[in-house]
Structure 1
Amino acid sequence: MTDHNGTTVTHRRYIPYSHAHYGGDLVDGAYGLGMFGDVATELCILTDGDEGLFASYTDVQFKAPVRAGDVVEATAVVVRTGTRSRTVEFTLTVVCRADPARGDSAATALAEPITATTATGTVVVP
């Protein structure tokens, strides 16, 4: 068995305004979970040559709002390697945010990213 602990994958994505579901241009929490599935898939491909299957989350915490116009970064890190399973820690951070007070298309790269969502999950590979 190869130890994959520490293997990391990060995806970055702009969130379009068409994904806002709530007042204040808020995006639902499932958006980040979808990104976690994407980084988990790439992680499984890198470590095991297979897309794997997402088995479960043991913890999901929504810590800060995600808004349309944000640029977010989803990161997955293997923290435990089993025979067929991998425990993965996920983090979704906001790295850029729209700044409508300065203009319709204004945005700011954040000096300090905002941690929006964290989770721990298990993936299974053949």
Structure 2
Amino acid sequence: MSDDARVGLTVTHRRYVPYGHAHYGGSLVDGAYVLGLFGDVATEVCIRTDGDEGLFAGYEDVRFRAPVRAGDVLEATATVTRVGRRSRTLALEARVVCRSLPDKGESAAEVLAEPLVVLTATGTVVVPGAS
């Protein structure tokens, strides 16, 4: 484990997935939508750790674990796992915390007892070097 205080920093965002983002039957949403959320939490991580929005350099080990549907409330989390000179490695996870219940009514929904992990990845961001 690193002595760097930035290791372990966690940022979480929540977002409702609008029905306009459903691209497939069953109100399924494409995985790129969730990757966009990872970009948002990574940006906040860079601001908090380095005072700069930084840039996403790449993803590794992207795993689509469960479907995302329109009407879900997603929680995207980034945790700093490594700090390099200009790069930061992030553990990324997206979970569904609320899900629509179309069988029960047009606007029916529930809070899930246990969040459903839908996507995990490792990401690398870069920030400007110290001046």
TM-score, length of structure 1 as denominator length: 0.97
CA distance in 2, matches of 1:8, 1:20: 29
Task: State the match for 1:75 in structure 2.
Answer: 77
Count of matched residue pairs: 126
Runs of 5+ consecutive residues of structure 2 not aligned to the other structure: none
Is the 8 Å Cα contact of residues 3 and 81 (structure 1) preserved in structure 2?
no
- Between the aligned residues of both structures, percent identity stands at 69
Among 113, 118, 121, which residue is 2:120 paired with?
118
SS of 1:33's partner is: helix
Among 103, 106, 129, which residue is 1:104 paired with?
106
Q: Please tell me the residue identity of whatever aligns with 1:53.
A: L
Segments of 4+ moved more than 2 angstroms: none
1:32 is the counterpart of 2:27: no
Residues 64-111 of structure 1 show CA distances to partners (whole Å, capped at 9, x for unaligned) of 000000000000000001111100010000000000111110000000
Task: State the match for 1:17 in structure 2.
Answer: 19
CA distance in 2, matches of 1:93, 1:37: 15
Q: Please tell me the residue identity of whatever aligns with 2:119.
A: T
Runs of 5+ consecutive residues of structure 1 not aligned to the other structure: none
For the aligned residue pairs, the C-alpha RMSD in angstroms reads 1.1
SS of 1:44's partner is: helix
TM-score, length of structure 2 as denominator length: 0.94
Alpha-carbon shift at residue 3 of structure 1 (Å): 3.7
1:44 is the counterpart of 2:46: yes
CA distance in 2, matches of 1:58, 1:11: 21
Among 50, 57, 60, which residue is 1:58 paired with?
60
Task: State the match for 2:97 in structure 1.
Answer: 95
CA distance in 1, matches of 2:102, 2:35: 27
